[in-house]
Structure 1
């Protein structure tokens, strides 16, 4: 097997592995291996092929890391609707005392606190955050 074929086989293996992991980092390394294959096709020496593959792979990985795809979204789990199914749900509060209340929600008694800008009046409220056993709510 020639050098360029070896580079492409290794790149193909990484592309398949990337499909199982769901990250783009292995794909960036596979791009570097593809560049090594191009260097081999152009007749470069083995050390030059390796150098080209490493430089292109590292550059592609660095570019990915700086992009929005390389960083996970930083959000608090207590406010993230994808993490906590209670965010956005409604709860009925009948009376307030000093910005706090207790109300039944999903079959249990919860401590409820007002969120920023919410008014302490009886009625429906929307859950905006869950902190332990406390629901932080805003007016519906």
Structure 2
């Protein structure tokens, strides 16, 4: 296995982990108070106890698609856009989170960098979209 492929696989595993972990732990297994507060601030009429596990399930599906659909960059591009949108969302609805430890800035920007690494190391002879 060449080094470019190793880097590609490690980046895919890392990006998938971000979505798998954040979908499962703070949204499904233990609903985080911050997650609940952020969800409720949107005032869409669905309680966080319902909406957060649904969002968590979607994140898990995205993480699995990043891992399993290695020939496609669609899940990676979608992830990059989603990470940007979610970061903007936090900046609008709970800007105080941006200066906390383990904040969305550090996590999302790092995950976006993983997206970039995946895109530039994708094998050229594989259908990527």
TM-score normalized by the length of structure 2 = 0.27
Q: Could you say which structure has the higher helix fraction? A: 2
Higher Cα Rg, which structure = 1
Select the structure with the greater relative contact order (CA < 8 A; seq sep ≥ 6). Answer: 2
Q: Could you say which structure has the higher strand fraction? A: 1
